C-alpha cells in the first residue's frame, strides 16, 4: 500500500525526535534549484508571491537564506517530525511505536512544493512553498509545471502490481500527481460530518481525519482495499450508500 498526504504550513523543529534513523530525499537537486530562485526573492517579493504577512515573509526569507546542502541531523529534520498541521495532529507520529516506523516509511509519502515527494524519515529543512504557488523557474511558470511527471514517475517506480494507492492529500497537492499515468487505480477516502441536518465536508475535521486514517492503516497493518472500510477513529463510519469503488465516504 502507498498513501499520499499533503505537507503542513506549520513546522516543528524543536521537539525531541524519538528515533535516530533518517533517509535522503530523492529530489534534492530539484529542491536546491527551487531554493536558488527563492533566495533571490526579497521579503516583499515573498509576501506578494505567497500572499502572506510581512512577519511570515521575513521568517521565510530567513529560511530561504539559511537553506543549504548537504542536509545533516544538525541542520535538518525527518519530515514526519517536522510538519505540524492538522493532518499530522491526527496522525500523531510521535506516539507511533518504533517497531511500526519501517511500515510507515514504506507506505507513506508526503507531497511537497519544495521537495516534490518525501518519505517520513527523509531529512528536510524548514521552508514554505505551497504547491499552488506561481513560482517561475526557468521556462516553467508554476510548481505543477516544474514537477511535471516527476512525482508520478517516482510513485510508479515504487508501486507494485495490484498495490493499493490511497489518496489522502488535498486537491491542491494531489494535482501534482497524474492518476491516468499511475499503474494502479486511486482510492480517495472522503470524510463528512453532519451539520445543521446535512452532511458536509468540514475542512478542519476532514484534515484531521486524513491523518487519523494514516494512523489507522499503520496501527492495524492494513494492506487490502476492503479493510480500509473498517476505519472508525474519531467516531467515523464507512457509508456504503455514499461510496463508490474509488471514493470511500466516511460519516459521523
pLDDT at position 14 is: 96
pLDDT at position 237 is: 98
What are phi and psi for residue 212, nearest 5 degrees?
A: -65, -35
Residue by residue, DSSP assigns 46-63 as HHHHHT--HHHHHHHHHH
34 in helix, strand or coil? helix
pLDDT at position 66 is: 98
Q: Please state, in angstroms and rounded to a whole number, the distance separating the CA atoms of residues 81 and 97.
A: 14
Q: Which of 169, 6, 173 is nearest to 85 (CA)?
A: 6
Residues of the chain whose pLDDT is less than 70?
none
16-43 residue pLDDT tens: 999 999 999 999 999 999 999 999 999 9
What are phi and psi for residue 190, nearest 5 degrees?
A: -125, 135
pLDDT at position 53 is: 98
124 in helix, strand or coil? strand
**Domain limits of the chain?**
2-251
Which cell numbers in the block locate residue 209? 481525519
pLDDT at position 82 is: 98
Q: Please state, in angstroms and rounded to a whole number, the distance separating the CA atoms of residues 55 and 82.
A: 21
Distance of CA 119 to the CA centre of its chain: 9
Instruction: Give the pTM.
Output: 0.96
pLDDT at position 65 is: 98
pLDDT at position 68 is: 97
Amino acid at each position: 500500500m502507498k498513501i499520499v498526504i499533503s505537507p503542513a504550513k506549520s513546522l516543528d523543529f524543536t521537539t525531541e525526535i524519538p528515533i535516530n534513523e533518517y533517509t535522503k530525499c530523492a529530489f534534492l537537486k530539484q529542491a536546491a534549484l527551487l531554493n536558488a530562485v527563492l533566495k533571490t526573492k526579497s521579503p516583499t517579493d515573498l509576501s506578494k508571491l505567497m500572499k502572506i504577512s510581512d512577519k511570515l515573509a521575513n521568517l521565510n526569507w530567513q529560511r530561504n537564506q539559511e537553506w543549504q546542502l548537504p542536509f545533516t541531523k544538525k541542520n535538518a529534520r525527518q519530515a514526519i517530525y517536522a510538519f505540524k498541521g492538522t493532518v499530522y495532529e491526527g496522525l500523531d507520529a510521535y506516539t507511533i511505536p518504533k517497531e511500526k516506523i519501517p511500515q510507515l516509511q514504506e507506505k507513506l509519502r508526503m507531497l511537497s512544493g519544495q521537495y516534490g515527494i518525501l518519505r517520513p524519515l527523509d531529512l528536510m529543512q524548514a521552508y514554505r512553498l505551497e504547491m499552488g504557488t506561481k513560482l517561475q523557474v526557468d521556462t516553467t511558470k508554476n510548481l505543477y509545471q516544474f514537477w511535471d511527471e516527476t512525482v508520478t514517475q517516482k510513485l510508479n517506480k515504487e508501486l507494485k502490481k495490484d498495490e493499493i494507492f490511497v489518496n489522502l492529500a488535498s486537491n491542491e497537492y494531489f494535482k501534482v500527481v497524474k492518476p491516468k499515468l499511475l499503474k494502479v487505480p486511486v482510492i480517495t477516502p472522503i470524510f463528512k460530518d453532519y451539520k445543521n441536518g446535512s452532511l458536509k465536508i468540514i475542512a478542519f475535521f476532514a484534515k484531521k481525519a486524513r491523518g487519523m486514517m494514516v494512523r489507522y492503516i499503520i496501527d492495524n497493518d492494513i494492506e487490502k482495499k476492503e479493510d480500509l472500510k473498517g476505519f472508525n477513529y474519531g467516531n467515523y463510519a464507512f457509508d456504503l450508500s455514499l461510496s463508490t469503488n474509488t471514493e470511500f465516504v466516511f460519516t459521523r
